[in-house]
């Protein structure tokens, strides 16, 4: 993927379906320019409040053009959002993404010294990217330390809150296999595992996971996303890390 600093080859054969913006040749007068030479303009304001840092992992959609309007790469054309560590972006992209919030779409005019630096068969000169910051999966939620007052609690001590309503009509049973996307954090905000970051949903039998998952996922329906606060006795029981209360965002994608 060409937005990565380590990219060495063009994404040949990418469908040419994303037309270049009218200002692709040069930043317009209302674009903001940073000290590094990067020019940016917000296309769609975001709804989030947090900005990613260089240590974060982000999920983005993007399209890149040369200044003559040739599209050279596009996750939009592939209909596949991309998950990347910010630190692996080319410098101009890394700087620009850190200026954004979740839900924002921004256009970046990246000079060659902040892009591919004339290397190999990569695009030469200034390049232009439209980037949408979809989420920051590495960033812990604000209520990671403890369940909020509107969280529900079960008799076992499991606390949960629905983040997105599902579309399914049935709940999985202990004997079912399920496919999920998930991210887990410790209460100090450290992410320790994530299928979202790996960009690979996980499939497993519900009777083969920690007790908090077995109980919690059975409360869900397909399409639902929920946050779970799982006490240590329902997680790894102090037998191995991570220790203590754990927080998981889980999306139930399919009951197999």
Query: Closest Cα partner for 214 from 180, 240, 168?
Result: 180
- Residue 182 falls in the annotated catalytic set: yes
Question: What is residue 41's predicted lDDT score, i.e. its pLDDT?
Answer: 98
Q: Which two tokens stand for residue 175?
A: 């004997």
Question: What is residue 218's predicted lDDT score, i.e. its pLDDT?
Answer: 98
The pLDDT of residue 251 is above 80: yes
What are residue 225's phi and psi, to 5 degrees?
-125, 130
- Total-model pTM: 0.75
Question: What is residue 1's predicted lDDT score, i.e. its pLDDT?
Answer: 64
Q: Any residues with CB less than 8 A from the CB of 90 and at least 6 apart, and which?
A: 3, 4, 5, 7, 110, 114, 115, 116
Identify the active-site residue in 248, 249, 250, 255. 248
Query: CA–CA separation, 7 vs 81, rounded Å?
Result: 17
Q: In this structure, are residues 244 and 212 in contact, taking their beta carbons and an 8 Å threshold?
A: no
pLDDT digits (tens, 9 = 90+) for 100-137: 999 999 999 999 999 999 998 999 999 999 999 999 98
Domain ranges of the chain: 32-135, 152-255
- Residue 236 falls in the annotated catalytic set: yes
Identify the active-site residue in 72, 143, 204, 236. 236
pLDDT digits (tens, 9 = 90+) for 211-233: 999 999 999 999 999 999 999 99
- Residue 84 falls in the annotated catalytic set: no
Identify the active-site residue in 23, 72, 193, 204. 193
Identify the active-site residue in 84, 160, 182, 228. 182
Tell me what the mean pLDDT of segment 140-151 comes to.
95
Instruction: Give 17's pLDDT tier (boundaries 50, 70, 90).
Output: confident
Q: In this structure, are residues 135 and 102 in contact, taking their beta carbons and an 8 Å threshold?
A: yes
- Residue 210 falls in the annotated catalytic set: yes
Query: CA–CA separation, 218 vs 221, rounded Å?
Result: 8
Question: What is residue 166's predicted lDDT score, i.e. its pLDDT?
Answer: 95
Query: CA–CA separation, 214 vs 218, rounded Å?
Result: 7
166 forms bridges with which residues in the sheet? none
CATH architecture of 152-255: Roll (3.10)
Tell me what the mean pLDDT of segment 196-218 comes to.
95
Tell me what the mean pLDDT of segment 200-207 comes to.
96
- 3-state SS, residue 94: helix
User: 32-135, which class in CATH?
Assistant: alpha beta
């Amino acid at each position: 993927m060409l937005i990565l600093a380590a990219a060495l080859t063009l994404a040949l054969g990418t469908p040419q379906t994303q037309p270049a913006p009218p200002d692709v040749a040069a930043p317009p007068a209302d674009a903001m320019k940073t000290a590094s030479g990067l020019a940016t303009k917000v296309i769609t304001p975001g709804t989030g409040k947090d900005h990613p840092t260089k240590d974060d992992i982000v999920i983005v959609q993007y399209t890149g053009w040369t200044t003559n309007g040739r599209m050279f790469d596009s996750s939009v054309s592939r209909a596949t959002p991309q998950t990347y560590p910010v630190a692996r972006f080319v410098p101009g992209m890394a700087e620009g993404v850190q200026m954004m919030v979740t839900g924002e779409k921004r256009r970046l005019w990246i000079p060659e010294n902040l892009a591919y630096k004339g290397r190999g068969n990569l695009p030469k000169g200034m390049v232009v990217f439209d980037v949408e910051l979809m989420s920051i999966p590495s960033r812990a939620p604000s209520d990671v330390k403890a369940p909020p007052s509107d969280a529900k609690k079960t008799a076992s001590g499991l606390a949960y809150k629905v983040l997105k309503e599902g579309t399914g009509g049935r709940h999985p049973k202990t004997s079912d296999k399920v496919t999920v996307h998930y991210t887990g954090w410790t209460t100090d905000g450290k992410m320790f595992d994530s299928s979202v970051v790996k960009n690979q949903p996980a499939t497993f039998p519900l009777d083969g996971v920690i007790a908090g998952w077995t109980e919690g996922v059975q409360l869900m329906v397909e399409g639902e996303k929920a946050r779970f606060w799982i006490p240590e006795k329902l997680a790894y029981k102090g037998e191995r890390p991570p220790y203590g209360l754990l927080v998981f965002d889980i999306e139930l994608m399919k009951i197999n």
